[in-house]
């Protein structure tokens, strides 16, 4: 497998320079990332019994398949892993009598219908609003640490939070892999509240949303996830709405710069639409819902994971409790990006799916890992002042990402 992985690594370097990618710098970086994810998750799905012919076939597909086709395959690869993770979590947490025929009926009652936020990703569906929630189903009385250890026994790895090994005073806590994971493995979920561009002004601290919150992350399609309300999870399964740490109103007071006023004007929500949090029964003991604790590598170090957009199909009701996200807002709003601004769009994405989805992010391993700190390239914008501790992994990638 080491030889096959070397072939994949070489393919990543070559295909990143593929002239068939988009000319727009930002889109170019997105397509290059999807290409890498196609290779990494494809390598993982081959398994330990893969041979060189299998590897060559995936590399050949990566050079010929369209970006849409690669996105679709990445989604399938990631969803396959998450399905296995959810199966393990059910095995750990559900009482034995619930592991038979009662699971489907109960989960379908607790799930009812789930919220959905629209956007520009390839697997977007129509919005479906929740109507009601049943009581939180019974689970085994295990704490977070016990669930984590049992997951490691089944999956081969889990995650821990402890002091970072990054050598600067602001590193704080870091995210560590406990166990072994192969390249292409889904290691962590980015938890929290999901905001589509239509609801940017409801993010706490708007318009300078990142001033006091280091736990925000943005997908290529403009979706923002705020992990601050999730914290480090909890010790129970409960109806979660994210308001324990995120009770807020749009920040309309105080001095504003002209650019702030303009941004607020251009991103004003639809008339008569009020954004609000939707609650869902979520498992807060999820040991992998800790991606927001991953640190950026120090100078001379390389990241060992990359972010991967994952559009969770809300039709998978038995899995929903293990996806640590909820959508903000209760109306589907199509938005289109022009430069740095988002505008309401009356057109609908012709390639949209009818399957409702929840937009999320996961971290995917870019090499084999064992008992080490997880490091993520933050790709901070080079058009703004960056923290003193930040050393770019690839300045050109940073530039393309925020162009």
pLDDT at position 16, please? 54
Beta strands in 264-397 (DSSP E): 280-283, 305-313, 325-327, 335-338, 341-344, 357-365, 369-370
Distant-in-sequence, close-in-space partners of 67: CB < 8 Å, separation ≥ 6: 21, 31, 34, 35
CA-to-CA separations, 378 to 35, 101, 227, in angstroms, rounded: 19, 44, 15
pLDDT at position 265, please? 44
Query: What is the spatial distance between Cα 119 and Cα 337, in angstroms, rounded to a whole number?
Result: 10
Percent of the chain with pLDDT over 90: 51
Confidence of residue 49 (pLDDT cuts 50, 70, 90): confident
Angle (CA) 58-60-62 rounded to 5° is 70
pTM for the model stands at: 0.79
- 288 close to 178: Cβ distance less than 8 angstroms: no
Angle (CA) 89-90-92 rounded to 5° is 65
pLDDT higher than threshold 60 for residue 339: no
* Range from 59-68, 186-195, 332-341 carrying the lowest mean pLDDT: 332-341
pLDDT higher than threshold 50 for residue 114: no
On average, the pLDDT of the chain sits at 79
CA-to-CA separations, 289 to 190, 192, 267, in angstroms, rounded: 6, 9, 30
Work out the average pLDDT over 194-206: 90
pLDDT at position 346, please? 45
- Tens of pLDDT, residue by residue over 259-290, are 444 444 444 443 334 445 668 999 999 999 99
CA-to-CA separations, 19 to 201, 278, 383, in angstroms, rounded: 38, 43, 26
* H-run or E-run covering 48: none
pLDDT at position 110, please? 45
Which domains does the chain carry? 2-401 (2.170.270.10)
DSSP 185-243: -EEEE--EEEE-GGGGGGSTTTTSTTSS-S-EEE-TTS-EEE-TTTTT--SSEEEE-S-
Work out the average pLDDT over 120-149: 66
3-class DSSP state for residue 358? strand
């Amino acid at each position: 497998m080491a030889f096959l992985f070397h072939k994949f690594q070489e393919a990543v370097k070559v295909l990143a320079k593929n002239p068939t990618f988009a000319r727009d710098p930002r889109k170019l970086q997105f397509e290059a990332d999807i290409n890498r994810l196609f290779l990494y998750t494809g390598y993982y799905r081959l398994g330990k019994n893969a041979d060189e012919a299998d590897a060559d076939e995936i590399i050949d597909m990566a050079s010929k398949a369209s970006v849409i086709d690669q996105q679709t395959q990445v989604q399938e690869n990631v969803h396959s892993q998450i399905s296995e993770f959810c199966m393990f979590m059910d095995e750990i947490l559900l009482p034995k009598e619930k592991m038979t025929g009662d699971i489907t009926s109960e989960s379908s009652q607790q799930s009812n219908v789930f919220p959905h936020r629209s956007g520009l990703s390839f697997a977007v569906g129509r919005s479906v609003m929740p109507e009601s929630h049943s009581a939180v189903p019974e689970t085994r009385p295990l704490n977070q640490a016990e669930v984590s250890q049992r997951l490691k026994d089944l999956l081969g790895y889990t995650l821990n939070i402890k002091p970072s090994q990054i050598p600067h005073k602001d590193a704080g806590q870091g995210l560590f892999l406990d166990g072994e994971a192969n390249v292409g493995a889904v290691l962590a979920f980015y938890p929290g509240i999901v905001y589509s561009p239509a609801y940017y002004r409801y993010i706490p601290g708007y318009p300078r949303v990142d001033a006091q919150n280091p736990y925000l992350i943005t997908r290529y399609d403009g979706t923002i996830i705020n992990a601050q309300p999730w914290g480090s999870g909890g010790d129970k399964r409960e109806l979660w709405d994210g308001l324990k740490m995120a009770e807020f109103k749009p920040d309309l007071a105080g001095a504003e710069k002209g650019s702030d006023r303009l941004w607020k004007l251009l991103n004003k929500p639809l008339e008569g639409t009020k954004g609000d949090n939707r609650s869902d029964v979520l498992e807060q003991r999820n040991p992998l819902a800790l991606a927001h604790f991953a640190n950026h590598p120090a100078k001379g170090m390389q990241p060992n994971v990359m972010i991967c957009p994952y559009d969770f199909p809300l039709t998978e009701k038995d899995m929903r409790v293990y996806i640590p996200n909820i959508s903000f807002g209760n109306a589907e709003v199509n938005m289109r990006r022009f430069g740095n601004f988002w505008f309401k769009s009356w057109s609908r994405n012709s390639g949209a799916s009818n399957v409702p989805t929840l937009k999320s992010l996961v971290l995917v391993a870019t090499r084999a890992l064992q008992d080490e700190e997880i490091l993520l390239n933050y790709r901070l914008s080079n058009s703004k002042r960056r923290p003193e501790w930040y050393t770019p992994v690839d300045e050109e990638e940073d530039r393309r990402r925020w162009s």
